Structure 1
Amino acid sequence: MKRNIWMLAFAMLTLLFMAACADPSSSSNVNPAKVQVELIATPEPVIAGETTALTVRITGLNTFEKARVQLDIRTADNKGIPDLLDTETTGNGDYSAEYTFKKTSLYDVYVHLYQGELHITKKKQLEAT
């Protein structure tokens, strides 16, 4: 009987410890459906052969610490190898990089957001003229 009480007490202490160590802003508490991604190109419209500043604006995360954003750029016809582009944070959920679109075409831009164990991919389209 005493052994069962000690085991129960140990189990309760273990659960309390695990709950105290949980990070409320961890990636496991994020609902991917609520994460919104906006892709902003400057200049607009995008001109093929000219450098374009791409800014990704992310909302719906509790924190952006240790988040990484990568752009996967490919023509909409999905021919050829995609270009992978790492971004740099500019604060407040914004991430930026520069890219030169090679030809006039419709492009699919897959925004990959990594934070801890979380990986969210959102698809956006841009047209280079």
Structure 2
Amino acid sequence: MRSLPAAVVDAAVVLLFVLIGRSSHGEANTLLDVVVTLWPFAASLTLGWLVTRAWRLPIAPLRTGLGVWAITVAAGMALRALSGGGIAVSFIAVTSLFLAAGLIGWRAAATLVLSRRTTAPSPR
């Protein structure tokens, strides 16, 4: 079951984004406050997984990572705006960059590591 660890890493990236963002703005990280900030992006991450069928190729950086990232950012911003949250241009930029580094970045690193394992010469 390769998709469960990938889903957990994606969820951790989104949670880390929320925690760092709230902390950098001096906001409380109580459970309720974190959930209020997290839910639009967590729901959008789930949508991204469904639309891209991420469970089929969970580690593919472009096919899966790019799609999951784009949907998470776009739908997350839409849900945040609809629920009364701010979506300043600077917030959209930071969100896009952080989530790209996280959701695409870990997949690129994993792909690189796995490809080196399978193409490494055998010891003599």
TM-score range, shorter chain: under 0.3
Which of the pair is proportionally richer in helix? 2
Which protein is bigger by CA-based radius of gyration?
1
TM-score by length of 2: 0.24
TM-score by length of 1: 0.23
Which of the pair is proportionally richer in strand? 1
